[in-house]
Amino acid sequence: MISSQSPILIPMTFLFAAMLIPLVGAVNRAAAHLAAVLGSALALYFSVIGMQTTLAQGRISYHIAGWMPPIGIEFVLDPLSAFVCTLLCGVTFIVMVFGKRSVEYEIPQKEIAFYSLSMLLLGGLAGMVMTGDLFNLYVYLEIAALAGYALVAIGDKRAVVSAFRYLVMGTVGATFYLLGVALIFISTGTLNMADIAQLMPLVHDSPAVIVGLVLIVLGTALKMALFPMHAWLPDAYTHASTTATALIAPIGTKVSAYVLFRVLFFVVDPDHLRTEMLNLLQIIGYLGAAGIIWGSIMAICQSELKRMLAYSSVAQVGYIAVGIALASPLGFIGAILHALNHAVMKCCLFLVSGNMRLRLGHSSIPLMTNGLRKSMPWTSAAFTLAAISMIGLPPTAGFFGKWYLALGAIEQSHWIFLTALLISTILNVAYFFRVMERMYLKPQDPGGVDYSEQTIARSEAPASMLIPTLFLAISLLVLGFANAWIVTNLIVPMIPGWL
Amino acid sequence: MLEFIQGYYAYIFLATAFTIGLYGMMVKQNLMKKVLGMSIVAATTIMFWIVGAYKEGAGVTVLDPRYGVENPEMYLNPLPHTLMLTAIVVAVVTLGVALALLIGIYREYKTLDEPTLLERMK
């Protein structure tokens, strides 16, 4: 019963929770957090059930209001969308558990709005993942985007300005997408993705379809912060509250990347993709490679931990773009695996910065000293593990995503992509070791206050924040060791047959 | 050149308006003007769908027994219009959020001019 309904149940759980939280919160403030945790736990449960069913029995399709596709709107749970959806729900559940103390500290009095908006954001993102209809995707994209603007705006003093910039860029992206959908609709007369995929071979020569696809790719690239359209991202992530960043950073850009996957590999005609569309793929790949280098270099220049991580996100989106551009099974596996790993690593790193903000009141890198190691040993350990994974040292998870991408690049002799991957690894070392060096080795200022062993109190973050952080850090090792299982059982079934 | 323009007046007008909107969003220094540009871009996209669905002489949207199925030129696809109702709602909501953010910015910094804003944010 649940399994056949799961495509619709997941977004609806989030949307229902978003409506319920203000009501519950009006009665009891503390219950708002509980409702958010329960809502995301329920959605996680549904998505795990959905994923099990999909892997066992294949695609689940849910027709809204009983209208058959292509007339009606279809919600689809196939291996790809089930995987992305489980990832979304898992990250959300962990961040919601983490959120209680961090939200109370960073944005007091705004908890109810925060939880309600984050559920709305997730409802939008889950809908984007699930829907099989291009226009429906636009609607969910805007739900997620509007909730995202509001979440980003609840932050420090500058958050409003960065939220405004995010809104302007996001709206341009969504408009390009809508315009692209219009051109495709005019040419094919349908909005259902599976139906368009069938009609595509008949119309792929039409300039309208080509322009439409380019506009869709452009709009999605803006949303996923592909270089050079990433300018909104660092500001938005830096000034938002840490919990909001930890929620948006790992999954927001990934879902846009998922849309790119969906459109390029499941809607566009495969023969067409290999021949005329190849230039578009190449451009996505080169922009991704440029983003990898540029994001990493900018990350080295930052003095604020959250901002550094935000630039690093720009670089990581580049890896996914490179994987898409390779258009081969290895590239596909690499991009999806990297999306999973990066979501876990980046979430963990942002949670660490939240722990630091709670205990130190800042997350500025030049102010860090080895006092941090003594006062917050577990948080520092989680940071180190996640940083090692970001750099990509085996056996942590980060290594394997890059490994598949590198193999894919070698297979097709894309030496530029390979060079970008290798250079970025070195740049990653540079910016993460800079933080780790301060965290573990830099002695405290001798001229200042005496911070000898006795005066440094152990002030580790509270358990509700520390456990999610450590859980993510440990799961990086687990994902690293289990990567062969993940690739064979979860990722290989989602590769389209023609690839 | 003339054949290229003929019959596509509406599209050319929309493309021009879209470009003007984009120009306003990218180049104008005043944040309010950026919002205006955003509004133009959104409206043009909606108009594009409507113009795309236009058909000379057609006015029937659902199967009507009086006309039957013999005259397909009488029928019009109503889907773009209904879809655009949703898109209009989305555009209005986006505009509302944008204006709310502008109010927030003005309360905080007492300006909507971008160079002055950047100066005051330091």
Q: Do the Cβ atoms of A172 and B102 come within 8 Å? A: no
Q: Phi and psi for A441 in degrees, rounded to 5?
A: -115, -35
CA-angle at A266, arms to A263 and A267, nearest 5°: 60
Residue with tokens 């133009």: B40
> B86 at the A interface (CB within 8 A)?
yes
Residues 6+ apart with CB under 8 A from A314: A225, A227, A230, A233, A234, A291, A294, A295, A298
Cα A86 from Cα A92, distance rounded (Å): 10
- Cα A452 to its chain centre, rounded Å, is 41
Contact A498, A272 (CB under 8 A): no
Instruction: Give the separation between CA A19 and CA A459, rounded to whole angstroms.
Output: 37
Of A349, A338, A328, A352, residue with least CA distance to A480: A338
- The answer, for B52 touching chain A at a CB cutoff of 8 Å, is yes
Residue ranges of the domains in chain A?
289-499
Coil/strand/helix, residue A103:
helix
What are the residues facing B75 on neighbouring strands?
Answer: B60
Give yes or no for B14 touching A (CB within 8 A): no
3-state secondary structure B4-53: HHCCCHHHHHHHHHHHHHHHHHHHCCEHHHHHHHHHHHHHHHHHHHHHHC
* Helix or strand run (H / E) with residue B83: helix B79-109
Q: For the domain that residue B78 is a member of, what is the CATH number?
A: 1.10.287.3510
> Which member of A153, A168, A185 has the closest CB to residue B38?
A168
Nearest Cα of chain B lies from the Cα of A450 at a distance, in angstroms, of 33
In chain A, the largest separation of any two C-alpha atoms, in whole Å, equals: 76
With both helix axes pointing from N to C terminus, report the angle between A29-57 and A111-130 in degrees, rounded to the nearest 10.
10
Shortest CA distance from B41: residue in chain A: A175
Cα nearest neighbour of A71 on chain B:
B79
H-type alpha helices, A107-133: 111-130
Question: Best interface-test mutation with B: which of A175, A191, A229 has the largest number of B CBs within 10 A?
Answer: A175
Number of H helices, E strands in chain A: 20, 2
Contact A324, A339 (CB under 8 A): no
With respect to residue B82, please indicate whether it lies within any of the assigned structural domains: yes
Closest chain B residue to A170 measured between Cα atoms? B94
Q: Determine whether A182 is exposed, middle or buried from the number of CB atoms within 10 Å of its CB (0-12, 13-18, 19+).
A: buried
pLDDT along chain B (122 residues), means of 10: 79 92 90 92 92 82 78 82 91 93 91 86 80
The confidence score (pLDDT) of residue A455 equals: 46
Sequence-distant (≥ 6) Cβ neighbours of residue A279 within 8 angstroms: none
End-to-end CA distance of chain A: 33
Q: Which residues of A touch B (CB under 8 A)?
A: 135, 138-139, 142, 146, 149-150, 153, 157-158, 160-161, 163-164, 167-168, 171-172, 175, 178-179, 182, 185-186, 189, 191
Q: What is the pLDDT of residue A118?
A: 92
**B50 touching A (Cβ < 8 Å):** no
Residue at B113 is within a domain: yes
Encoded amino acid at A24, one letter: V
Reported residue count of chain B is 122
Interatomic CA distance for residues B122 and B117, integer angstroms: 9
Which residues in A lie closer than 8 A to residue B108 (C-beta atoms)?
157, 160
In a structure prediction context, what are the per-residue pLDDT tens digits for chain A, which is 499 residues long? Answer: 677 888 888 999 999 999 999 999 888 888 888 999 999 999 999 999 999 888 888 888 888 888 888 888 889 888 899 999 999 999 999 999 988 888 888 888 888 889 999 999 999 999 999 998 999 999 999 999 999 999 999 888 888 999 999 999 999 999 999 999 999 998 888 888 888 888 888 887 888 888 999 999 999 999 888 888 888 888 888 888 888 888 988 888 899 999 998 998 888 887 777 777 788 888 999 999 999 999 999 998 888 888 899 999 999 999 999 999 888 889 899 999 999 999 999 999 999 888 888 888 777 888 877 777 778 888 888 999 999 998 888 888 888 989 999 999 998 888 989 999 999 999 999 888 888 888 888 776 655 454 444 445 567 778 888 888 899 999 998 988 888 888 888 888 888 877 7
Count how many domains chain B has.
Answer: 1
Of A153, A178, A189, the CB nearest to B45: A178
Q: How far apart are CA A397 and CA A342, in angstroms?
A: 9
Q: How far off is chain A from B66, nearest CA to CA, in Å? A: 24
Answer whether residue B34 is part of any domain.
yes
Task: Please count the other Cβ atoms lying within 10 Å of the Cβ belonging to residue A477.
Answer: 15
- Residue A159: closest CA among chain B residues belongs to which residue? B105
User: A223 Cβ partners below 8 Å, 6+ apart?
Assistant: A141, A145, A170, A173, A174, A177, A253, A256, A259
Residues 6 or more apart whose CB falls under 8 angstroms from that of A101 comprise A358, A461, A462, A464, A465
CB contact under 8 A, B42 and A168: no
In this structure, what is the dihedral angle of CA atoms A65, A69, A72, A74, given to the nearest 10 degrees? 70
Report how far Cα A212 is from the mean position of its chain's Cα atoms.
Answer: 25
Which amino acid, one-letter code, is at A342? H
Q: How far apart are CA B82 and CA B61, in angstroms?
A: 12
On whether residue B4 sits in a domain, the answer given is: no
What residue has token string 């080295």?
Answer: A300
* The pLDDT of residue A457: 57
The reply to whether B10 touches chain A by the CB within 8 Å rule is no
The residue among B94, B107, B117, B119 with the most chain A CBs within 10 A of its CB, best to mutate, is B94
**Helix, coil or strand: residue B66:** coil
CB contact, 8 Å: B108 with chain A? yes
- Please tell me the predicted confidence (pLDDT) of residue B94: 93
Q: Kindly identify which residue of chain B lies nearest to residue A174, measuring between CA atoms.
A: B42
Is residue B21 included in any domain, yes or no? yes
Cβ atoms of residues A95 and A465 within 8 Å:
no
Rounded Cα gap, residues A141 and A172, in angstroms: 12
In this prediction, residue A123 carries a pLDDT of 93
Quick check: is B3 in a domain?
no
Q: Are residues A167 and B97, on separate chains, in Cβ contact within 8 Å? A: yes
| Distance in Å, alpha carbon of A474 to nearest chain B alpha carbon | 39
Report which of A137, A270, A135, A132 is spatially closest to residue A204, judged by C-alpha positions. Answer: A270
Instruction: Say if CB A89 and CB A40 are below 8 A apart.
Output: yes
**CB A27, CB A51: distance < 8 Å:** no
Residue A397: how many CB atoms within 10 A of its CB?
Answer: 28
Q: Are B42 and A157 inside 8 Å of each other by CB?
A: no
Closest CA to A331 of A424, A279, A275, A406: A406
| Six-digit token string for B39 | 């509004």
CA A37/CA A95 separation, integer angstroms: 9
